[in-house]
Amino acid sequence: MAVAAAGCGTQGNRVALLPHPSPFPTGVAAPVSPGSVVLGSATNAAGWTAVVTAAPGAELQVTVTVRGPLTVLGGCVPSLTARAETSTGAPVPTPTPTPEMHCLAIALEMVPAGTSRAFTALLPEPSPPGTYAVLSTLDTQGPSAPVPPVTITT
């Protein structure tokens, strides 16, 4: 992983980045935490897998496992962001992040060919209960595949 960083501070962002290298072979998604309930999953033509689980504290955890070669941008801002929409396409409101410090860090995370890597984001569980589409965006450098949307019922 190549990293260039300077002046990074905490961001206080409800949509969190928790990247970690995936020890799983290409095509195998990262495991779900014990006790987590899988609400939905989807895979795109490029072999990217998105899994949405119920996380503690009325949150949803979105884990996207991608295949290389790929360069993902990161640093003080999340590489993966997620949001929910109602069945009519209306966005579900989420808290606005409040930066605590100005940050100038940029990180390039390389996913070599033949490997996979998982990225995770948290978002508040939509209310009221219903059917929602969870849409994610992975900040990449150069061409990449779109993250597959996941339909969930809460």
| Residue in 126, 137, 122 with CA at minimum distance from that of residue 56 | 122
**11 pLDDT above the threshold of 90:** no
User: For residue 9, what pLDDT is reported?
Assistant: 39
Do the domain assignments include residue 75? Answer: yes
Indicate yes or no: pTM above 0.75. no
Do the domain assignments include residue 30? Answer: no
H-state helical runs in 13-147: none
Q: In which band, very low, low, confident or very high, does the pLDDT at 91 lie, cut at 50, 70 and 90?
A: very high
User: For residue 57, what pLDDT is reported?
Assistant: 84
**90 pLDDT above the threshold of 70:** yes
Which domain range does residue 134 map to? 7-23+38-153
CA trace torsion 56, 29, 64, 148 (10° rounding): -120
Peptide bond into 69 cis (omega under 30): yes
State the burial class of residue 45 (Cβ atoms within 10 Å of its Cβ: 0-12, 13-18, 19+).
Answer: exposed
Do the domain assignments include residue 2? Answer: no
Assign residue 77 a region: left if phi > 0, alpha if psi is -120 to 50, beta otherwise? Answer: beta
Do the domain assignments include residue 73? Answer: yes
**20 pLDDT above the threshold of 50:** no
Do the domain assignments include residue 138? Answer: yes
**87 pLDDT above the threshold of 60:** yes
Do the domain assignments include residue 28? Answer: no
CATH number, domain containing residue 43: 2.60.40
Q: Report the number of distinct structural domains present in the chain.
A: 1
Do the domain assignments include residue 32? Answer: no
Q: How far does CA 58 lie from the centroid of its chain?
A: 17
Do the domain assignments include residue 29? Answer: no
